[in-house]
Amino acid sequence: MTLIHCPECHRSISDKAMACPHCGYPVNRSDIHKSDRSYTVSFGYEYKSPLTIFGMPLVHIVFGPAAGGGLKPAKGFIAIGNVAIGVIALGGFALGVISIAGIGLGLVTFAGMAIGLLGGAGGLAFGYVAVGGVAIGVYAIGGLSIGVHTIYNSPELKEFVRSLLGRI
């Protein structure tokens, strides 16, 4: 019998156990490598900081599929994962005040497809201020701009952008 660490609670358990006796986390037999006494878990990776803000962990990181299938979202003040929900969210799909993602939704969003209430920047961007290949918003700058004030129909916006670029 060899002792290994539970992937969930990190306590020592027997390599013969079907599940952790402390937290109930299932142990996958094929993922235990006895030769180097290390283990990998096919369920992915998760880190949750012990420090919390308003009941949310300061940092929550989740990658890979959940134990029962599907994707487990990372939920925290700073959330990083395939699916991330937090004040600052980074991931494939992110929902947060500030979102950086493949597909993002938030107050300010930087993403391939960005939907930002105040601002969105990305390949396809929606928001009050939208910057992207396709930009849709009140103020829109992009290859295809749709909005009340675009770089093509608003001389004031055109001059503003020129003044910004002139300072760089």
How does pLDDT run across 70-109, given as a tens digit for each residue?
A: 788 999 999 999 999 999 999 999 999 999 999 999 999 9
20: which 2 tokens? 């952790």
Token pair 């930009």 in the structure block, residue: 135
- Phi-psi map region of 125: left, alpha, beta (phi>0 left; psi -120 to 50 alpha): beta
What does the domain layout of the chain look like in residue ranges? 1-42, 46-167
Contact 2, 15 (CB under 8 A): yes
Summarize pLDDT for 43-78 with one digit per residue, the tens: 578 899 999 888 889 999 988 776 666 788 999 999
pTM of the model: 0.65
Interstrand relation of 12-14 and 3-5 (parallel, antiparallel or unpaired): antiparallel
Question: Burial, 99: exposed, middle or buried (Cβ in 10 Å; 0-12, 13-18, 19+)?
Answer: buried
